[in-house]
Chain A
Amino acid sequence: MTFVVTEACIKCKYMDCVEVCPVDCFYEGENMLVIHPDECIDCGVCEPECPAEAIKSDTESGLEKWLALNAEYARKWPNITSKGVPPPDADAWKDVPDKYANHFSENPGGEEDADRARAA
């Protein structure tokens, strides 16, 4: 069992989850985070932390595709262990529909990403 990050994270990427995760199992893309399903210990601490309510337990139905996406990108993106700067327009993207289809980025996140956000 694991928790998974879902569509609501895209372009919001608040990263509050990263601060409370005891096992550092978040990985950072350019505009969203994912959870490494093999590292998550299902403690559930991150779930209520997410302002976008993007984190769900994989015991919920219909999350198979998101579990696969989390598993894939956790292997491709860098590990994130401390909270960076969220996008300045994060709040404006919170309830936007179809973010995966229109805005998902395969690019890894990281330092440059944080620098860009700081400069913005």
Chain B
Amino acid sequence: MITGPSDSERRARIVQAIVDETGVTEQIIEKLVHAFYAKVRVDPELGPIFARVIGGDWGPHLAKMCDFWSSVMLMSGRYKGNPMVAHMRLKTIRPEHFGRWLDLFTRTARELCAPEMAEAFVARAENIARSLQMGIFYRAEKYPSAKRPQVS
């Protein structure tokens, strides 16, 4: 068997490349997450939706979102969850809320981060927002049949 670099070496190299390119750190992630949700809480569209689910104690949700962004940006594996299902449970959510969420996130990232880093966050956020929005509202159109695939 040919042995390549171990998984942890490989991952360390990938993460280092991300850090070198974007400058993302755990501290920045925490700062961004807290600043972003401070905007969300007072937003007339998104605030009430989050308030209904989170109630008065934002601590656990903020910690969870720091874990989420750490997993997404720095591959830390700290977050494990099913955001698709969590969002599908929200009865008051509408497709346009994802656009609003992305606007606030983008604005916060650009306020707090250098341009390369802000764009790295925004690129991930765009994909995630689009994927949740499509998954929740357009699933039936996306995968109309469960026919057996023919792969050649």
Chain A interface size, as a band, is 35 or more
Query: B131–A41 contact, CB under 8 A?
Result: yes
A-B pairs with CB below 8 Å: how many? 101
Pick from A41, A69, A81, A83: contact of B84, CB under 8 Å: A41
CB-defined interface of B88-117 with A at 8 Å, one 1/0 digit per residue? Answer: 000000000000000000000000000000
If A42-B128, A43-B128, A91-B2 are given as contacts, then 14 extra A-B residue pairs at C-beta distance below 8 Å, sorted by A number, are A1-B131, A16-B7, A22-B77, A24-B82, A41-B83, A42-B127, A42-B130, A45-B72, A49-B75, A65-B150, A65-B152, A66-B149, A71-B146, A100-B151
Give bound CA distance, A20 to B75, whole Å: 6
What is the distance, in angstroms, from A45's C-beta to the closest C-beta of chain B? 6
CB-defined interface of A33-74 with B at 8 Å, one 1/0 digit per residue? Answer: 000011111111100110100000000000001101101100
Which residues of A pack against B, CB within 8 Å? 1-2, 7, 14, 16, 19-20, 22-24, 37-45, 48-49, 51, 65-66, 68-69, 71-72, 75, 81, 83, 88-92, 100-101, 104
